[in-house]
Structure 1
Amino acid sequence: MENASSSQQATQSETPTFFTQEELSKLKSDFETGGVENVKPLLDKKVKELENTELNIAVTGETGAGKSTFINAMRGLRSEDERAAAVGNTETTKEPTGYPHPYLPNVRYWDLPGIGSTRFTAGSYLRKMKFKKYDFFVIVAAARFTENDAKLATEIKRLGKKFYFVRSKIDADLYSMRQQRKEFDESAEMGKIRSDCVSGLGKAGIPNPTVFLISSLNKKMYDFDRLLEALADDLPNIKESVFTLALPNLSVEIIRKKGEVLKKRIWMSAILSGGVGAIPVPGLSAACDMGILIGAIIYFRECLCLDDAALRRLAERTGTSVEELKDTLKSSLLGEITVKVIVKLSLGVVAIGVSAMEVALYSVPVIGSVFGAGSSFLMTYMTLNNVLHLLMETAEQVLAFAKGAH
């Protein structure tokens, strides 16, 4: 009994945060009164809500600050990639320009004209830029933040939105200093740059600002990771999940965070995929909705940057081909997802044993434990968990390959 109690406590901590307590209670009640068919409508509604959740991120700063390069970095693109934001030193943005994420089109980064390039006050600027649509603002500067930047931040704060100061091109500044001095302490120089930014913003009316020093061309260094963490932490639960999935795979930690978000959606796909029936060996497709299974696997690949478009960009950067890259990774999940591939994965799940499957149900929130070990729900749930585990391993291999190629 002690182990069961511990498992139930763990279950509660894994309850998806994108469900309200009221929705979870309704799921449980509907299931108890009418079974699987009663909970499907609410799950359908929640899946659509998750798929349609918009995240709009505004990026502003003066001409030449590196806004476009930053937007491309956040989307996992380089300037020469298809659909990348145009990079240049000439201010061409007269109206907000939206750049959708490569695989999550409801996530958009908006390039706003710098307030210094307009004739508007901070208040009128925000009205013209359709302030209300943005979830938060990133103010980018390549040198000192200006008085206009500070006024804009003050107005954003007054209107109740979050903003972040990003000091870009830090790698170029440090390189220039290194070339001019016999003795060079990078940490000390970064401290001076940060202090200068904080001091300037303080004088312009922003008390105790946090400034992130980044290079959009070298995201693995400086404050880029800290910036991503700060952006995610300040978002409401559903949008935090969406933002996490939209991040470029810069580290093993990001890949694992994506895995946590995706795992919390597996049980919904499992319930929608099948009813309660015998373990379908070999008739898997008769008991489960193969379209849902295939769609979930393709979605996992995109979120983990393992789709063909992401692999092609990596191959181009590392001087190899997509085929050679796939051969190196040796994963059947990177090819065409067919019924045959899924059945093979599911038979491997069956080999785990029914007792292990029953234990796994403790990680399904609210209603999972009422399903028997012989359900097609369980088969789908375990198959997708297995798929996600394998894809996360592959994503970590891709990350190691990319690091080794530089």
Structure 2
Amino acid sequence: MGGSNSREEIGPLSNPMFFSPQELKDLECAFELGAIEEINSLIQEKVNNLKSTELHIAVTGEAGVGKSTFINAFRGLRSSDEGAAKSGNTERTMKPTQYKHPNFDEVSFWDLPGIGTTKIPFEQYFSKMKFELYNFFIIISSGRFTKNDASIAQNIKSLRKNFYFVRSKIDNDLRAHQLSHAQANNDAELTKIRDYCTDGLRKAGISEPKVFLISSFQVNDFDFPELKETLANNLDDIRKDIFLRTLPSTTSKFVEQKRDQLKNRTWILAAHAVSLGAVPIPGMDIVCDLGMLVTAIEEFREFFGLDDASLQRLANVTGKPVEVLKSEVKTSLAGEINKDLVKSMLLRSRYVDTADNMPFLKKIPIIGPRYQLGKSQKITENLLNDILSEFAKNAQRVVDTAFDTD
């Protein structure tokens, strides 16, 4: 269901993401009537869903294929960092092992034992792994995909869940190819590896396999960016939101994706802040819960990886001094964010003087709750969108510096 592109509207249709058609209709009616309590209830339910939804990603494959390194790369960690998955060439995992994202507890990667080991017989594997608990699966190999890998995929398919084939350690393959060939052709070698993997999967019973070639040490190269984008695009709105939150900002495209995804949230956040427990802002004809805005802005900053912990992890992975990365964060919102700061931003907002001239407000026949609610929501939403753009620009500078791109 599409919404209007005009930013002159105030109402649910300016942000259809996260809401069903019936929820949008209910919200629109509530806004038309100025029914603040009903708006509160509808939006609070959606906010609770955003906060309570979890994402569980299962990673499986035989011993030594790079499952742990892959899990760490996805979370922006080195193997020596606190909370990192332990890596090695032997099968360490005898039961599903959970690794939560360092910033976002609602997202977990699960390292599953390899199928067909003597510890877990094939006939017991699927019941012991409880595949129904996971949202989607990553099946990793560092060589040819086997019949066991195909059996996992077929079992997942029967559950109507998504799975993705990942061929790891591509950097090692290309390095070996270059050492053994005087005139190495990397593109031809990558095609050969991809064909080798897809052919093996077809022979094992997977009709149209797609294989992502990656190196967990070169997260911006080969198919790693495409894999991340594919995973995100195959999730529903809420899970896509929390998945993108966990991805380190490593490319311009991911920064843009994060910005666009967060724009889907600003209407909800603004409406929530001006309708639930809101109080008048001195010097302005609007109401707003400043505490909610403080929390929202802090979450935005963390979403883009501009908080101290995220910048330190990025510095660890890229080898760039953390102070160099921090120097690229040129915003007043880099330090403490409190109610006084947010209030001053609202008072300075370029939308304050023009809010009364908006077409929507002209249609309101009386000055009252509907007027104040609409005006407050619009000013707050526009401020959040401005902050979002500011964070995105800063994140882009950090990415350019961290990965020497321009």
Instruction: Give the TM-score band, short-chain normalised.
Output: 0.7 to 0.9
Structure 2 distance, partners of 1:320, 1:6, is 42
Match in the other structure for 1:290? 290
Structure 2 distance, partners of 1:202, 1:298, is 47
- For residues 129-181 of structure 1, the C-alpha deviation after alignment (integer angstroms, 9 at most, x for no partner) is 11111111110001111221112112221232211110000011101110111
Match in the other structure for 2:21? 21
Taking only the aligned residue pairs, the percentage that are identical comes to 42
Structure 1 distance, partners of 2:113, 2:311, is 33
Counterpart contact for 2:40–2:275, Cα < 8 Å:
no
| Deviation (angstroms), 1:121 | 5.8
Counterpart contact for 1:36–1:271, Cα < 8 Å:
no
- For residues 245-303 of structure 1, the C-alpha deviation after alignment (integer angstroms, 9 at most, x for no partner) is 2222121111111112212111222122225999946469x932121011001110111
1:329 aligns with 2:329: yes
Structure 2 distance, partners of 1:106, 1:341, is 29
Amino acid at match of 1:188: A
Structure 1 distance, partners of 2:160, 2:374, is 51
Match in the other structure for 1:366? none
Decide whether aligned partners of structure 1 residues 17 and 300 sit closer, same or farther in structure 2, where only a CA change above 3 A counts.
Answer: same
Structure 2 distance, partners of 1:245, 1:360, is 33
Decide whether aligned partners of structure 1 residues 23 and 178 sit closer, same or farther in structure 2, where only a CA change above 3 A counts.
Answer: same
- SS of the aligned residue for 1:140 comes to strand
Match in the other structure for 1:320? 321
Match in the other structure for 2:124? 124
Counterpart contact for 2:93–2:111, Cα < 8 Å:
yes
Match in the other structure for 1:367? none
- For residues 84-108 of structure 1, the C-alpha deviation after alignment (integer angstroms, 9 at most, x for no partner) is 1111112111111111112221111
Structure 2 spans left out of the alignment, 5+ residues: 362-369
Decide whether aligned partners of structure 1 residues 9 and 225 sit closer, same or farther in structure 2, where only a CA change above 3 A counts.
Answer: farther
Which structure shows the bigger proportion of residues in helix conformation?
1
Counterpart contact for 1:64–1:89, Cα < 8 Å:
yes
| Deviation (angstroms), 1:14 | 5.7
Structure 1 distance, partners of 2:348, 2:104, is 31
Match in the other structure for 2:81? 81
Match in the other structure for 1:177? 177
| Deviation (angstroms), 1:238 | 2.1
Structure 1 distance, partners of 2:311, 2:239, is 26
Give TM-score scaled by structure 2 length.
Answer: 0.87
Structure 2 distance, partners of 1:403, 1:141, is 27
Amino acid at match of 1:66: G
Match in the other structure for 1:365? none
Give TM-score scaled by structure 1 length.
Answer: 0.87
- SS of the aligned residue for 2:99 comes to strand
Match in the other structure for 2:366? none
- SS of the aligned residue for 1:404 comes to coil
Structure 2 distance, partners of 1:152, 1:142, is 16
| Deviation (angstroms), 1:210 | 0.6
- For residues 188-217 of structure 1, the C-alpha deviation after alignment (integer angstroms, 9 at most, x for no partner) is 000000011111111111122111100111
Match in the other structure for 2:198? 198
1:186 aligns with 2:186: yes
Amino acid at match of 2:393: E
Decide whether aligned partners of structure 1 residues 60 and 6 sit closer, same or farther in structure 2, where only a CA change above 3 A counts.
Answer: closer
Match in the other structure for 1:150? 150
- Comparing 337-346 and 46-55, the one that deviates more: 337-346
| Deviation (angstroms), 1:118 | 4.5
Decide whether aligned partners of structure 1 residues 359 and 295 sit closer, same or farther in structure 2, where only a CA change above 3 A counts.
Answer: farther
Decide whether aligned partners of structure 1 residues 394 and 249 sit closer, same or farther in structure 2, where only a CA change above 3 A counts.
Answer: same
- SS of the aligned residue for 2:6 comes to helix
Structure 2 distance, partners of 1:371, 1:138, is 50
Structure 1 spans left out of the alignment, 5+ residues: 362-369
